[in-house]
Amino acid sequence: MRTYFYTIDRRGRVLHDGTEITDERFLHIFYRLMATNETGENAEYPFVSPCGKEMNYARAEDTAVVFRSLSEGQLFYAPELSVPFRPETLRFSQDGVLYHEAPVGGLGRLDAALALELGKAIVPWGPYFAYEPGSRATIIEPVEPDDRYRVIRPRFDNTCFGCGEAHPFGPALSFLFHTADNSVHTWFTPDVRMQGGTGWMHGGFIALLLDEVMGKTLSANNMGGAPTARLEVNFRRPAHIGVRMELIGKLEEHGGRKYTLVGELREAEGEKYLLADGRGLFVRPKVRLSVA
């Protein structure tokens, strides 16, 4: 058994004794057979690719897999080898590197050119980012979990207009639960679907979104299953279509089966004007309801 040692750099180049390996047939086999090194030998090389009478050990400057291109919904990392592009598995590092779920090593780095291309559809989302190529956003969480926050993503089988992935016309909002004060936030940009006759955001949609963030606050605090009994909304300023906004929900008080919550709709940038606020009474029925 012949033994060889390789290094994979941050650009995804496979190097042997400082020389890049460019043979596509070799690279295809090398990556297709790559697995975690469980041989008990050469522990400084975390990956191994056995091929006939060769045992190829590999280590990476960052990740073993580096994605270089995206085509027809597939992320390619080697000749004829790819994985489905799943935006919900995107992660970002503190130094701004973008990663995606990979078949080896858990996460694979995105090549700089590919990251820049995807970056055209990436926007800030509170302390995190969101991949937003259309009207719906997919939240990008950090590689290292942050205990201060918890992302609440839309469920694929939920038909709720505000937060359901299965609703054909809704925004499928995700929310960020702040563990320090038990508040819930989300950031979004309203489009023409939410426009009223004035050209501003329709008041009914504002009320719906305030109700949504309040309800999600209950769910985040393990108090779900309490439908809205009363909702009061104050419209403070015009909410313009196409302007980035933040929704905030907080639990004000609760006793027995009753919960009082407050919510705000603010501009997310600039002066962050308060556009609307509301208060809702939520009552948990005597018969427990299933909740999203």
- Alpha-carbon dihedral angle through residues 166, 266, 228, 289, given to the nearest 10 degrees: 40
Both 103 and 182 in one domain: the answer is: no
CATH number, residue 158: 3.10.129.10
292 pLDDT above the threshold of 70: no
Domain boundary among 118, 135, 157: 118
169 pLDDT above the threshold of 60: yes
Both 258 and 171 in one domain: the answer is: yes
8 Å CB contact between 66 and 82 = no
212 pLDDT above the threshold of 80: yes
Contacts of 23 (CB under 8 A, 6+ apart): none
Both 60 and 159 in one domain: the answer is: no
158 pLDDT above the threshold of 70: yes
292 lies in a domain? no
139 lies in a domain? no
Both 75 and 169 in one domain: the answer is: no
Both 152 and 276 in one domain: the answer is: yes
8 Å CB contact between 137 and 131 = yes
262 lies in a domain? yes
Quote the pLDDT of residue 160: 85
Both 234 and 171 in one domain: the answer is: yes
User: What's the average model confidence in pLDDT over 63-80?
Assistant: 96
What average pLDDT does the chain have?
94
Both 175 and 265 in one domain: the answer is: yes
290 lies in a domain? no
For residue 26, CA distances in Å to 34, 92, 107 come to 12, 31, 22
Quote the pLDDT of residue 134: 84
User: What's the average model confidence in pLDDT over 84-93?
Assistant: 97
Both 71 and 149 in one domain: the answer is: no
Both 96 and 169 in one domain: the answer is: no
290 pLDDT above the threshold of 70: no
49 pLDDT above the threshold of 60: yes
291 pLDDT above the threshold of 80: no
135 lies in a domain? no
Cα separation, 133 vs 137, whole angstroms: 7
289 pLDDT above the threshold of 70: no
How many independent structural domains does the chain possess?
A: 2
8 Å CB contact between 12 and 34 = no
132 lies in a domain? no
288 lies in a domain? no
Q: Which domain holds residue 53?
A: 2-118
Quote the pLDDT of residue 5: 97
129 lies in a domain? no
**Higher-confidence residue: 223 or 110?**
110
Both 246 and 211 in one domain: the answer is: yes
Cα separation, 217 vs 225, whole angstroms: 12
The model's pTM is 0.89
8 Å CB contact between 146 and 179 = no
Both 51 and 92 in one domain: the answer is: yes
What is the 3-state secondary structure of 152-204?
ECCCCCCCCCCCCCCCCCCCCCCEEEECCCCEEEEEECCCHHHECCCCEECHH
For residue 184, CA distances in Å to 67, 69, 98 come to 34, 36, 26
CA nearest to 252, candidates 289, 288, 277: 277
**Higher-confidence residue: 48 or 169?**
48
User: What's the average model confidence in pLDDT over 236-260?
Assistant: 96
CA nearest to 235, candidates 263, 276, 274: 276
Both 28 and 113 in one domain: the answer is: yes
